[in-house]
Structure 1
Amino acid sequence: MNNHQPAAIIPFLTVHDGKKAVDFYKQAFAANETSRYDLPGDKISAVLDIAGATIYVGDEEPEFGNLSPAKDAPVPVRIVLKTMEADIFFERAIAAGAVAICPMTTEADWRMGKLKDPFGHIWELGYEL
């Protein structure tokens, strides 16, 4: 057992269609799928690397309380993707079906934009100036 591993917080995004979500994140954010687990009922769970950051993506599992956000409901958690490629990723995400909430803009010492992906998750993309 390695007692020297740093702590990590890794978002696990629950979605209605895992395969489509993985395809979206690849197209929008140049995600690299590092592993995929096939689950019963044509469901998946996948690990993605986006610009050096890790996220998990998986299909809904209502029996375990894992539900995707409703597309028209408020979302209490935002994913902040801090990357110098924010402008490019923002444009690609919109082209792939995301909805802009706040366009890419420069505020004080940040360049940032905010969008909702097709699976109901809110993303803030940006970088420090």
Structure 2
Amino acid sequence: MKGMTNTNDKPSLTRLYARLVVSDGPRAIDFYRTAFGAEEIERYTDPDGKIVHAMLRLGGAVIAVKDADESDPAPDSLGGSPVIMALDVSDADAVAEAMLRGGASVVYPIADQHYGQRGGRLADPFGHLWMISQTIEELTPEEIQKRTTDLFT
């Protein structure tokens, strides 16, 4: 049967990516290119030039971007987004600075965190939230849990 590739005869997952709906697709692609070094892989538009699908590569990951429409509202028209994109980087401060230069805003400033990361959270100009993290300390899950417990007690 087509699509059945594992021994349990269940469909296998072949790809997962976020599809970000934005109020200005071309501007968003420029922002992600400048802030994250994104490479545009493909772009498809409707007859009016609105982006119906654009795929971007960010390091080893991909995201899709599309312009908002009647079916798919952008976060800024909904009062924000409950989804947080987590981005592991080699230099959290530099990525945050690039985002800020492009019009992002700080939700939580970049700082050393109890779980061995240096990071924070920023909102891009299109209402999407990004948790930017850089490993600064190799910790075991037990060490992270102890520090988390200590933080709340």
Which band: TM-score by shorter chain? 0.7 to 0.9
Q: Please give the secondary structure, in 1, of the residue aligned with 2:48.
A: helix
Is 2:57 aligned against 1:49? yes
Question: Is the contact made by 2:80 and 2:127 (CA closer than 8 Å) also made in structure 1?
Answer: no
Aligned with residue 121 of structure 1, among 128, 143, 149: 128
Determine which structure has more spread, i.e. the larger CA radius of gyration.
2
Aligned with residue 24 of structure 1, among 31, 38, 48: 31
1-structure distance, mates of 2:77, 2:104? 11
Identical amino acids, percent of aligned pairs: 34
Q: Which has the higher contact order (CA 8 A, sep 6+)?
A: 1
* CA RMSD of superposed structures (Å): 2.0
Q: Please give the secondary structure, in 2, of the residue aligned with 1:8.
A: coil
2-structure distance, mates of 1:89, 1:13? 19
1-structure distance, mates of 2:41, 2:21? 17
Number of positions where the alignment pairs a residue of Structure 1 with one of Structure 2: 127
Question: Is the contact made by 2:84 and 2:128 (CA closer than 8 Å) also made in structure 1?
Answer: yes
State the TM-score, normalized to the length of structure 2: 0.75
**Closer/same/farther in 2, CA of residues 94 and 66 from structure 1, 3 Å limit:** same
Listed as ranges, the gaps of 5+ residues in structure 2 are: 7-11, 137-153
**Closer/same/farther in 2, CA of residues 6 and 48 from structure 1, 3 Å limit:** same
Listed as ranges, the gaps of 5+ residues in structure 1 are: none
Give 1:112's aligned residue.
Answer: 119
State the TM-score, normalized to the length of structure 1: 0.88
